[in-house]
Each structure stands twice: as C-alpha cells, then as structure tokens.
C-alpha cells in the first residue's frame, strides 16, 4: 500500500479544516471530502490500509479445509482454516495477478487462479503451475501468497492490511462486557446469508447516515414504529460507538428487548438483537460508489420477516444517501452544523477521520524532512 506524498495530501486537504472539532458546535466534514478525486486513493492507504475490518464469522471457517473469500481495502483476500489455524492471504495470483477462487479436488480444498490455473495451498504456498516446470527462474517453493493479519473477537474475524494504531482488543474494549450483560452470545451464531447493495454515494455518506438516529422518524416510518426514539442513545468509545434503543412493539419480527447498533471504525457495523446479528461492511468502489455487504447470522433459524424488514429500511437509506450525495456534488453546500445530541456518532466518526488525515500529513512531512 503506497504512502501518499505530501504534495498529494496538501492538495486534497486544501481549504479543509483538519483541526479537532469540539463536540458542541462542530461542523460536518466539507463536501469536497465526499467527492470523486484523490481523497479515495488517500483513504485507501491511510484508513483502509491500517484499521481492523470485519471479514466473516467463525461459523464460516470452522473446520480444517474451510475457506472464505472476502475483500478488504480493495484487495481480495482468502481466509483459510488449516492445521496451523486461521490465516488470511492476498487472493492475487503471483503469476500475472489473476483472481483466485476456492476449489476442491482430491479430497482437499485449495485456491486456484482462474487465469492459468496456478494452485495454492491453504498455507499460501504455491502447489502447482501448469507447464512451468523447467522454466528458467521458476522455483515453486519460493512462491507464496502474502499474508494479512487476522484477529478474532467473540467469533467475529477481523483483518488488517498493515500496522495500525490499536490492537483489536483495544478497538473493542468493553464491548464483550456489554454483550454479556445483555445476554448476547455472538460466537454461537451461525452464518445464514449475504446480501449486497451497490449505492451511488461516497462510503462516508453511508457511514454518516448509519451513525445517527436523527433521521429515523423522517426516513424510516416502519422502523420508527418499533424503536423508542425518545430513549435512543449514543455512547462513544475511542474506536467504536454504540447506538441503542429499546424495542417498543415488534412482537412479530423481533419480540421485545433492546437493539444494539455498533459502529467499529472505519467501516464495520454490528446490528444486534436477541439471537440475531446482522453485520454491515461498507466497501468503497471506484467512481465514488460503495457496496454494503449485509451478513445475516442467527442462533437458531432466521427470524421471520427479518430479511424483508431489513430490505425496506435499507432501500430508504439508499434513497436518502444517494440524494444527499447528489447535493454534496452539486456545489451548493460546503459544510453544516452537527446536532450535538443526535449526531454525536457522526462527530465521533469524522474526528477519527480527521485524526487519520492529520497523521498522514504529519508522516508525509517527516518523510520530506528526512529526504
Ligand atoms: S495469473 Fe494466475 S495463473 Fe496466470
Ligand atoms: Fe437509516
């Protein structure tokens, strides 16, 4: 992952106030940070190249020989379970960058390139390469897939591409306690299905929207009917935030209890109800679009109507995010005031971004000084 140069950073952040904003009276990040341009490449390195991101659940790779394909920071990765445990590798062929896919043959699982069929073991080692034996300079023992760092929390598998500012344990400090107190046992859940939505908006537009309940009464009439908006609270920690609300009257779909919406910087969301977890991963796409992957996990069977209900709420969010993005692109708006009570999660997210932007500038200046 290349480090952005000082010139590039200074041009991307020209006219952007990167100073820490007070919780009360803070301005939202300016529209220029949400438009197509160099910021996407910069964030790929300084945000998505350094922080922990959710990749999958233990139930998807529980047996030796299991393999899960995922994507992180624009890179396809393979999560494998072998006798050496759980490991993650770049799913990019070392021949000519072909795409790898999971294959089974001879009673074994392995990774095979769709281009010219080079094959790799679950430890990342090249196993075979058609018609390459005897080629000058070809030494199959020296060809391996690069590895990424993985860590597990309550059955959830996270990965990161390079060293970052905190361990996964630090990022999720106090979450386990909160889950136990509320009777949630995430490791016992089982993956059920994945649903993806491609949206015409910057990835941050979607995250901002997720992080406030301020819009719920106006955008989500059905969701509003089952949440108790007056009791909706946001709690902030260093690397994550939690929005929670008692369920008011949802006996058909969710029963009673409490809904927990965790956001883990920069792009992981955990939506937790008794016996159910829905994860959201926000993946930036080229052309200022993003993909949201929803994974549905249940303790027993899927909750009736859960998928349909989730789709209705998501379509409402898609429409509002796409409308906001069109307005951010229009040139009409630069920045506005955040609501200190209802948008504290947005402020928290944007402060983490500002910190990453400042840190990238500091490091680039350091590199310039040393040159
Ligand atoms: S690029 Fe993978 S085998 Fe050629
Ligand atoms: Fe929403």
Q: Mean pLDDT for each consecutive 10-residue tract of the chain (371 residues)?
A: 85 92 92 95 96 97 95 96 95 98 92 98 97 94 97 97 96 93 92 97 98 95 85 94 82 73 98 94 97 95 87 97 98 96 97 97 92 82
What confidence score (pLDDT) does residue 253 get?
A: 65
Give the predicted TM-score (pTM) of the model: 0.95
Measure 159 CA to ligand 2 centroid, in angstroms. Answer: 27
What confidence score (pLDDT) does residue 1 get?
A: 60
**CA distances to 78, 170, 203, 229, 263 from 289, in Å:** 24, 31, 7, 30, 20
Measure 101 CA to ligand 1 centroid, in angstroms. Answer: 12
What confidence score (pLDDT) does residue 250 get?
A: 57
What confidence score (pLDDT) does residue 2 get?
A: 72
The Cα 238–Cα 236 span in angstroms is 7
What confidence score (pLDDT) does residue 223 get?
A: 87
Pocket of ligand 1 (CB under 6 A): 93, 95-98, 113, 115-118
Which of 92, 99, 100, 113 best tests ligand 1's pocket when mutated (most atoms within 8 Å of CB)? 113
Point out the ligand 1 atom lying closest to the alpha carbon of residue 116.
Answer: 3
> Residues with beta carbon < 5 A to ion ligand 2?
317
Nearest ligand to the CA atom of 324: 2
Beta strands across the sheet bearing 119-120? 100-105, 108-113, 119-120, 126-128
Q: Which phi and psi angles does 299 have, rounded to 5°?
A: -75, -45
Point out the ligand 1 atom lying closest to the alpha carbon of residue 113.
Answer: 2
Measure 314 CA to ligand 2 centroid, in angstroms. Answer: 7
What confidence score (pLDDT) does residue 371 get?
A: 82
In the chain, the domains with their CATH numbers are 9-51+164-357 (3.90.380.10), 67-148 (2.102.10.10)
């Amino acid at each position: 992952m290349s480090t952005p140069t000082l010139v590039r950073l200074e041009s991307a952040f020209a006219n952007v106030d990167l100073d820490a904003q007070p919780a009360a009276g803070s301005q939202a990040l300016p529209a220029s940070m949400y438009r197509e341009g160099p910021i996407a490449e910069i964030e790929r390195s300084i945000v998505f190249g350094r922080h922990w991101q959710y990749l999958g659940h233990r139930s998807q790779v529980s047996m030796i020989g299991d393999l899960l394909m995922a994507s992180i920071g624009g890179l396809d990765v393979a999560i494998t379970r072998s006798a050496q445990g759980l490991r993650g590798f770049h799913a990019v062929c070392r021949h000519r960058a072909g795409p790898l896919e999971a294959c089974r043959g001879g009673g074994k699982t392995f990774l095979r390139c769709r281009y010219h069929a080079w094959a790799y073991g679950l430890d990342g080692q090249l196993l075979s390469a058609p018609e390459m034996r005897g080629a000058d300079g070809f030494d199959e023992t020296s060809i391996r897939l690069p590895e990424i760092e993985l860590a597990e929390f309550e059955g959830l598998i996270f990965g990161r591409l390079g060293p970052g500012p905190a361990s996964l344990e630090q990022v999720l400090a106090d979450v386990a306690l909160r889950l136990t107190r509320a009777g949630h046992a995430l490791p016992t859940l089982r993956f059920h299905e994945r649903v993806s939505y491609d949206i015409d908006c910057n990835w941050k537009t979607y995250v901002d929207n997720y992080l406030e309940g301020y819009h719920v009464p106006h955008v989500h009439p059905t969701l509003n009917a089952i949440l108790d908006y007056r009791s909706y609270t946001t709690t902030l920690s260093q690397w994550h935030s939690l929005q929670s609300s008692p369920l008011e009257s949802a006996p058909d779909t969710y029963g009673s209890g409490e809904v927990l919406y965790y956001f883990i910087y920069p792009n992981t969301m955990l939506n937790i109800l008794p016996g159910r977890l829905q994860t959201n991963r926000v993946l930036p796409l080229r052309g200022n679009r993003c993909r949201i992957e929803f994974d549905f996990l249940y303790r027993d069977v899927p909750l009736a109507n859960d998928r349909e209900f989730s789709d209705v709420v998501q379509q409402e969010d898609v429409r509002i995010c796409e409308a906001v993005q069109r307005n951010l692109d229009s040139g009409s708006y630069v920045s506005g005031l955040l609501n200190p009570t209802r948008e504290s999660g947005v402020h928290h997210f944007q402060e983490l971004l500002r910190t990453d932007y400042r840190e990238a500038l500091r490091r680039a200046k350091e590199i310039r000084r040393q040159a």
